[in-house]
Amino acid sequence: MTKTPITIAKGDGIGPAIMDATLEILEASGAQLEFEEIEIGKAVYERGVPNGIEPGAWESLRRTKVFLKAPITTPQGGGFKSLNVTVRKSLGLFANVRPCVSYDPFVKTNHPNMDLVIIRENEEDLYGGIEYRQSRDVMASLKVISRPGTERIMRYAFEYARANNRKKVTCMSKDNIMKISDGLFHQVFDEIAAEYPDIENEHMIIDIGTAKVANRPDMFDVIVTTNLYGDIISDVAAEVTGSVGLGGSSNIGTDFGMFEAVHGSAPDIAGAGIANPSGLILGSIMMLTHIGQGDAASKIHNAWLKTIEDGIHTGEIYREGVSKEKVGTEGFTKAVIERLGAKPEKLTPKEYPNIAGGIKLPPLKDPVEVSKKRVGVDLGLNWYGTADELADKVQTCVNDNLKLHIISNRGTKVWPEGQPETFCADNWRLRFIADDGQEVKTSQVIALMHRMNEADLNFTKSVMLHDFDGKPGYTVAQGE
Ligand code: NAD
């Protein structure tokens, strides 16, 4: 078997210790790997590289397309960019996959039957980092959900379920409130689910879904959700398993995979020899399945399960009466290596196929053409008076069919006929709509803005309003 080159980075804090442990186990398992080491993290940030990864390291990553990464310490203070976000975005790692499993009765948990996988969209949503300060008092973030981005994550979730013999996919969103962005996420889920009749599907609102994960995790199999909800719910789920330190995760792109532990660099215990290497070991098992070395993956996973089952535990999961021996990083590593070839007796043994390349997705569906008509514009303004005073001033600038329709503040209608109790901040949204159903011309909007500018009105933003196939591509304000 030819060796598969992979890029590794030892990171910071406990990173080097848990990476050395993982590499030792990989070598002992007979996995056919060739390691290329790159430097990432604190030292690189401190050399003045704002994203914590040396420019030369990209060459190795692009060539091997497989990255086993130890945690890093993110420096505090401004000017630094998240290394994880940079790597995810640069390499198009659109899916984050996090299995959350309980190992009852060997690791303490209130939920013995938990075995779920969270598939989190990794590139879009509020993590696009598109934020604005709009006025003295108002800040805003833009949530971006695209049809192709959503189609890809939904298909990945169903393909993952099929490949891993999972029976159900649950989509979580908040489309009762964000009807357009989360609404698309839910709609595309339904469309893709229809192509997988062999897999059960359901949708839950994220708040009740998160509560259920915390209380009845056994209800779930595969969960697919957006970037922000996925970030939160995967920590809830990891906590419910009984030990965040035991989680591995993968970030998957069309032809790239990054594999890591869920936890951070634990600077508080760095150098003490007590770190649990399990998160990175489980990450490396996901890596082996991704590159088609299923035999080595099964061998390591079963040895690891047997070690846990035999009660050989690091300090943070050690429990009197259940654990047999308290070990440090080295002792745990040795115990796993000694058990290579053995299978767990109580926990379920693992068997991975030798299929390389991970999950292959079919090409995206062709886009469905829609008719688009400009029907108005929303203009943002700073204003320090009342809504009625603002409306009076703006009405003097309106001289054609593009009429002032409503004024809203923080999303709530305040004119006409606003409620006196509504609190108003200093950034206002004015909605202008053509009152005769005619398509609005860009030149009309520019002329309106010109007249408002002459009247000393202070813009913060403008957004064109469109109907798509006759349906509004914008939401109405609360109270409208
Ligand atoms: P952390 O996960 O590093 O530590 C939280 C607690 O869990 C600590 O008490 C720690 O000792 C313990 N812990 C974590 N992993 C352990 C292990 N393997 N064995 C035993 N105990 C373990 O989270 P934090 O303290 O919030 O963050 C520390 C640093 O890690 C920060 O700089 C943070 O930005 C970074 N971080 C990096 C990544 C990553 O690189 N993927 C992820 C999360 C946090």
Same domain? For 279 and 408 the reply is no
Q: Closest ligand 1 atom, CA of 267? A: 28
- Could you tell me if the CB of 235 is within 6 A of ligand 1? no
- CATH code of the domain in which 410 resides: 3.30.70.1570
* pLDDT tens, residue order, the chain (480 aa): 789 999 999 999 999 999 999 999 999 999 999 999 999 999 999 898 988 998 889 999 999 999 999 999 988 877 788 888 888 888 999 999 999 999 999 998 889 889 999 999 999 999 888 899 999 999 999 999 999 999 999 999 999 999 888 999 999 999 999 999 999 999 999 999 999 999 999 999 999 999 999 999 999 999 999 999 999 999 899 888 887 778 899 999 988 999 999 999 999 999 999 999 999 999 999 999 999 999 999 999 999 999 999 999 999 999 999 999 999 999 999 999 999 999 999 999 999 888 776 788 889 999 999 999 999 999 999 999 999 999 999 999 998 999 999 999 999 999 999 898 899 999 999 999 999 989 999 999 999 999 999 999 989 999 999 999 999 999 988 888
Structural domain total, the chain: 2
Same domain? For 306 and 445 the reply is no
**Mutation to probe ligand 1, out of 241, 258, 263 (largest number of atoms < 8 A from CB):** 263
Same domain? For 64 and 139 the reply is yes
Q: 206 alpha carbon to ligand 1 midpoint, in Å?
A: 26
**Mutation to probe ligand 1, out of 258, 262, 265, 332 (largest number of atoms < 8 A from CB):** 265
Domain for residue 247, yes or no? yes
Last residue of a domain, one of 320, 338, 356: 338
- Could you tell me if the CB of 86 is within 6 A of ligand 1? no
- Could you tell me if the CB of 73 is within 6 A of ligand 1? yes
With pLDDT > 70 as the criterion, what percentage of the chain qualifies?
100
Domain for residue 365, yes or no? no
- Could you tell me if the CB of 409 is within 6 A of ligand 1? no
Q: Closest ligand 1 atom, CA of 315? A: 20
- Could you tell me if the CB of 264 is within 6 A of ligand 1? yes
Same domain? For 11 and 94 the reply is yes
* Secondary structure in 3-state letters for the chain: CCCEEEEEECCCCCHHHHHHHHHHHHHHHCCCEEEEECCECHHHHHCCCCCCECCCHHHHHHHHCEEEECCCCCCCCCCCCCHHHHHHHHCCCCEEEEEEECCCCCCCCCCCCCEEEEEEECCCEHHHCCEEECCCCCEEECCECCHHHHHHHHHHHHHHHHHCCCCEEEEEECCCCCCCHHHHHHHHHHHHHCCCCCCEEEEEEHHHHHHHHHHCHHHCCEEEECHHHHHHHHHHHHHHHCCHHHCEEEEECCCCEEEEECCCCCHHHCCCCCCCCHHHHHHHHHHHHHCCCHHHHHHHHHHHHHHHHCCEEEHHHCCCCCCCEEECHHHHHHHHHHCCCCCCCCCCCCCCCCCCCCCCCCCCCCCCCCCEEEEEEEEEEECCCCHHHHHHHHHCCCCCCEEEEEEEECCEEEECCCCCCCCCCCEEEEEEEECCCCCCCHHHHHHHHHHHHHCCCEEEEEEEEEEECCEECCCCCECC
Same domain? For 306 and 402 the reply is no
Residue 286 pLDDT: 95
Q: 427 alpha carbon to ligand 1 midpoint, in Å?
A: 39
- Could you tell me if the CB of 269 is within 6 A of ligand 1? yes
Domain for residue 477, yes or no? no
- Could you tell me if the CB of 239 is within 6 A of ligand 1? no
Same domain? For 384 and 293 the reply is no
Domain for residue 389, yes or no? yes
Q: 273 alpha carbon to ligand 1 midpoint, in Å?
A: 15
- Could you tell me if the CB of 268 is within 6 A of ligand 1? yes
Q: Supply the range of the domain harboring residue 446.
A: 372-472
Same domain? For 287 and 414 the reply is no
Same domain? For 334 and 377 the reply is no
- Return the residue whose CA atom lies nearest to atom 40 of ligand 1: 71
Residue 382 pLDDT: 95
Q: 133 alpha carbon to ligand 1 midpoint, in Å?
A: 32
Last residue of a domain, one of 287, 321, 338: 338
- Could you tell me if the CB of 279 is within 6 A of ligand 1? yes
Same domain? For 208 and 266 the reply is yes
Same domain? For 334 and 408 the reply is no
Same domain? For 207 and 275 the reply is yes
Domain for residue 478, yes or no? no
Domain for residue 95, yes or no? yes
- Could you tell me if the CB of 275 is within 6 A of ligand 1? yes
Domain for residue 357, yes or no? no
Same domain? For 258 and 163 the reply is yes
Q: 356 alpha carbon to ligand 1 midpoint, in Å?
A: 31
Residue 41 pLDDT: 92
Q: 396 alpha carbon to ligand 1 midpoint, in Å?
A: 59
Last residue of a domain, one of 291, 317, 338: 338
- Return the residue whose CA atom lies nearest to atom 43 of ligand 1: 264
- Return the residue whose CA atom lies nearest to atom 10 of ligand 1: 266
- Could you tell me if the CB of 276 is within 6 A of ligand 1? yes
- CATH code of the domain in which 52 resides: 3.40.718.10
Q: Closest ligand 1 atom, CA of 275? A: 19
Domain for residue 352, yes or no? no
